[in-house]
Amino acid sequence: MAAEMTESRHTSLWLDDTEATHYPTLQGDRVFDVAVIGGGITGLTAALLLAREGQSVCLLDQGVIAMGTSGHTTAKVTSQHHLTYARIRVSHGKDGAATYGAAMEAAKERVASFVDEGINCDFRRRPAYVYATRPGERALLEREAQAAQEAGLPATMDDEVPLPFDTRGGMRFDNQVEIHARRYLLGLADRFVRAGGEIFEHTRAVHVDESGGCVVHTDGQGRVEAEHVVVATLMPFLDRGGHFARAFPSRSYVLTARVQAGLPDAMLISAAPPMYSIRSVPYRGEELLMVLGQNHHLGSPKASPERFEKVAQFARQHWDVTSFEHRWSAQDYSSDDGVPYIGRLNIRSKRIQVATGFKKWGMTSGTLAGMLITDAIVGRDNPWASMFSSTRVKPLAEAPRFLAENGRVGVRFVADRILARGQRDIAELDIGEAGIVSCNGQKVAGYRDEEGRLHAVSSRCTHLGCQVAWNDAERSWDCPCHGSRFDPDGQILNGPATKPLDPRPTTPTP
């Protein structure tokens, strides 16, 4: 009988395999040199490096650390970012591609150095491949390999790749790295605290004032005064930098599986759609297959459990799968020109640093962000900073994506107000069903849970007012405009929103 994807645990392998953290919440007003907001790989790297520079540093997270996208990654630490170098050579020139490559290699080795300090996180060096399955894709890879070589990277073309199915060869980077994401991150957190840093969990930042110094305001837990603030929240929740209009969210679906044979001893990703990313992963004394696929823009009706099934079908098609062990989905943002935004919030800001747009390569890009932000705060010149500057303007490189993505958001914004007026009544929802429905004469986002209870919240995202859409794969309300996500009761799962969706009464109001 074929292994069933639905029998897997609906959690990331990294979370399943590590202890929960229990850092305190912020109490009252505190003063630090630097306040870091966000406890993923970006925030934890920046916090640790800054603490080691002698700064007094605190790190705030709205939930718990290492549970955002960094706790749901596939944890390939590589300078091979799919097909990147040929594109950057066109948009930023040969020197730009060389800078990008040198910076990502340095970030990978920064991770290796932290691990060398004694972080037990299944670190291993392996080659990374982008593989071709159709004849035309081979030419793409050859062009990419040449651009990567010219950028100083260890790129070669191979006719064979370590996969149990036929391919048209692949582009190989040697000496790349795999880790256990959460053990690595908890190792950084531990070292940060030993270096004198303080972590506050369940402490949401809602606003940062910048005049002279900075003040971070939280959602009722007190304030932090700091000389500098690092916003490492995947997408900055401060709109003053306009990043929500320059970086765009997409989700991906990941499975782990126990297979009979044919586990790859390399990291692999397909060159062309449908895109699959593959690695093997140690888990409690055995080795599992990990496959990611089904990337899509955020927003219904694309987020559905069938996407997990499609990734499972790919795994079954190529491996003899005995069982599926984990399934999860997560999101990341891509910048307009394919280069992360790292640096000042905007051209007037001197004390607020941000980082976003890692296009699902944040294990290296987030580490790099921690390194560049640390240099900026301690006043050290960094030759790579201008390439990644968050305030850069590259009209030719950025315009096509900027126009396409913001056009999509604009259409969504208008269409949602005309269509989907919530003609069904909330009472008509079946068990497990959700929709934009009417309730007490109002349009609401409604959901009937497995116990039959109704949940109703405002259908307008609290960020900039787009209509949320149901994500049936994760049972959440997702905003298709800039990626905020909320649980069925409106509580925030992902920013940039900093306020929950307003609850609506589900019983008739007098």
**Binding residues vs ligand FAD (CB under 6 A):** 37-43, 60-63, 67-70, 72-76, 204-205, 232-234, 237, 252, 254, 292, 330-332, 358, 360-364, 366, 495, 498
Minimum CB separation of residue 6 from ligand FAD in Å reads: 19
Q: Does 37 bind ligand FES (CB under 6 A)?
A: no
Among residues 46, 98, 466, 492, the one that binds ligand FES under rule CB under 6 A: 466
Which among ligand FES, ligand FAD, none contacts residue 41 (Cβ within 5 to 8 A by kind)?
ligand FAD
- Residues with Cβ < 8 Å from 309, sequence gap 6 or more? 5
Q: Does 496 bind ligand FES (CB under 6 A)?
A: yes
Which among ligand FES, ligand FAD, none contacts residue 482 (Cβ within 5 to 8 A by kind)?
ligand FES
DSSP 21-34: P-PPPP-S-EEEEE
Which tokens belong to 205? 């930042």
Phi-psi map region of 218: left, alpha, beta (phi>0 left; psi -120 to 50 alpha) = beta
Spatial separation of the C-alpha atoms in residues 463 and 413, rounded to whole Å: 13
- By beta-carbon distance, which residue lies closest to ligand FAD? 362
Which among ligand FAD, ligand FES, none contacts residue 294 (Cβ within 5 to 8 A by kind)?
none
Residue with Cβ nearer ligand FES (106 or 464) = 464
Q: Does 464 bind ligand FES (CB under 6 A)?
A: yes
β-sheet bridge partners, residue 341: 356
Per DSSP, 151 falls in state T
Residue with Cβ nearer ligand FAD (332 or 336) = 332
Minimum CB separation of residue 25 from ligand FES in Å reads: 25
Q: Does 479 bind ligand FES (CB under 6 A)?
A: yes
Cα angle 218-224-227, degrees, rounded to a multiple of 5: 130
Scanning 6-14, 48-56, 60-68, 460-468 for contacts with ligand FES by CB under 6 A, the matching segment is 460-468
Scanning 96-104, 168-176, 319-327, 477-485 for contacts with ligand FES by CB under 6 A, the matching segment is 477-485
Spatial separation of the C-alpha atoms in residues 68 and 34, rounded to whole Å: 21
Which among ligand FES, ligand FAD, none contacts residue 205 (Cβ within 5 to 8 A by kind)?
ligand FAD
Minimum CB separation of residue 12 from ligand FAD in Å reads: 9
Restricted to residues 232-251, the positions that interact with ligand FES (CB under 6 A) are 244
Phi/psi at 341 (nearest 5 deg)? -95, 115
Q: What's the residue count for the chain?
A: 510
How many Cβ atoms from other residues are within 10 Å of residue 410's Cβ?
Answer: 11
Q: Does 179 bind ligand FES (CB under 6 A)?
A: no
Q: Does 484 bind ligand FES (CB under 6 A)?
A: yes
From the number of C-beta atoms within 10 Å of its C-beta (0-12, 13-18, 19+), residue 364 rates as buried
Residue with Cβ nearer ligand FAD (330 or 479) = 330
Spatial separation of the C-alpha atoms in residues 296 and 92, rounded to whole Å: 27
Q: How crowded is the C-beta side of 382, counted as CA atoms within 13 Å?
A: 25
**Euclidean distance between the first and final Cα of the chain, in Å?**
55
- Residues with Cβ < 8 Å from 289, sequence gap 6 or more? 256, 257, 258, 259, 263, 278, 280, 281, 315, 319, 321
Residue with Cβ nearer ligand FAD (197 or 495) = 495
Edge-to-edge, what's the strand order for the sheet holding 469-471?
Answer: 469-471, 476-478, 485-486, 492-494
Residue with Cβ nearer ligand FAD (349 or 429) = 349
Which among ligand FES, ligand FAD, none contacts residue 38 (Cβ within 5 to 8 A by kind)?
ligand FAD
Do 364 and 104 meet the contact criterion of CB atoms below 8 Å apart?
yes
Residue with Cβ nearer ligand FAD (237 or 470) = 237
Among residues 482, 486, 488, 492, the one that binds ligand FES under rule CB under 6 A: 482
Residue with Cβ nearer ligand FES (155 or 234) = 234
Residue with Cβ nearer ligand FAD (218 or 349) = 218
Between the alpha carbon of residue 228 and those of residues 45, 46, 344, the distances in Å are 16, 12, 11
Residues that bind ligand FES (CB under 6 A): 244, 461, 463-466, 479, 481-484, 496-497
